[in-house]
Amino acid sequence: MNLATITLFCRERFRLDAWRHYVDEYQDGIALHVIVNNGDPADTELLKERFPDSMVLESPTSNMMASYNLALKEILKHPEIDAIGQIVNDIRIEDGGIRKLYDILFGQVDCFAVSPVLLEKDSDVIDCFGCSVNRKTFQFVHLDAGASLAEVPIETKQVDALPAGVFIAKRTFYERYGIQDEALNMYADEIDMALRVKKVGLRMMASSEIRAWHQHVNASGRPQRNARAAYLMGRNAVYLAGKHVSSWRRLVVFLYHVYRGIDEFRSALFHGKRDGSYAFGQAIICGAWDGLFYRAQS
């Protein structure tokens, strides 16, 4: 199995022990496990100590897409590697799941990328069984979200999008698709990938034959992502609407994210989420506004 995998690490020592366990469960047979530290440089030696069989790279930037690209470029120097996976550090994959994904990927000539069914933490509740993109709002849609695994057929199906945190793709996928859009930094890369892949005619699939779990835990037990994440969500959706459709669609998506921000203000006022929801809503609106004028650096 000539598979390489990429995982980023950014000041996430609170996940380190669990992540080490997840890697032990799925890494058997992986030819090259690449970790990119795009956080505190002091963590690089720690990562080398905890993952002695992995290639640990230190990114000069905290930009997640630039850090993924650093790993992609390194992997593509190895001609024997015929598939590349992205697996974030809070994903658990069932025993033998990577091998099954690899066999599905190369069992179909016209399949270029495949993901397992992704389940919520320690459950059989589906987070997504493949994904799609709402082209009106530029939101990422998780298919079959909230359903029980028992409610969906055991199948491998074609989908328009994949969760960026757990999929594998043929080498030729990246040779035709290219590298990540570094203007995004983080968030909405799945949307960009889905739309770019469609333009070059690559087929992606999701399989309920393989299970993975998103074992997500926020830093310090926060119930909500921070305001920086909200800002990027708003900015990137508006930016991508202009990149892939038109300036008019960019305006429509901006207005949608203003509505989302106002809804967070409502939650702050009426549902006791004052500090977190108010900051989250304000950040979404600020990000969406900046997205109206944001352009990728040439």
The structure's pTM equals 0.90
Predicted pLDDT at 263: 85
State the Cα–Cα distance between residues 156 and 97, nearest whole angstrom. Answer: 14
State in Å, rounded, how far the first CA of the chain is from the last one.
37
Residue 229's CB is within 10 A of a number of other CB atoms, namely: 16
User: Is the Cα dihedral 123, 139, 5, 182 positive or negative?
Assistant: negative
For residue 269, pLDDT over 80 is answered with no
In whole angstroms, give the CA distance from residue 35 to residue 143: 29
160-203, pLDDT tens digit by residue? Answer: 999 989 999 999 999 998 899 999 999 999 999 999 999 999 99
Helices (H), the chain: 16-26, 43-50, 64-75, 97-107, 171-177, 189-200, 227-244, 247-270, 274-291
Q: Which CATH architecture has domain 3-217?
A: Alpha-Beta Complex (3.90)
d(CA 37, CA 8): 6
Neighbours of 44 (CB within 10 A): 18
The predicted pLDDT at position 296 comes to: 73
Region of residue 274 (left: phi > 0; alpha: psi -120 to 50; beta: else): alpha
Q: What's the residue count for the chain?
A: 298
Question: Which tokens sit at 113?
Answer: 């990328």
Q: d(Cα 171, Cα 113) in Å, to the nearest integer?
A: 10
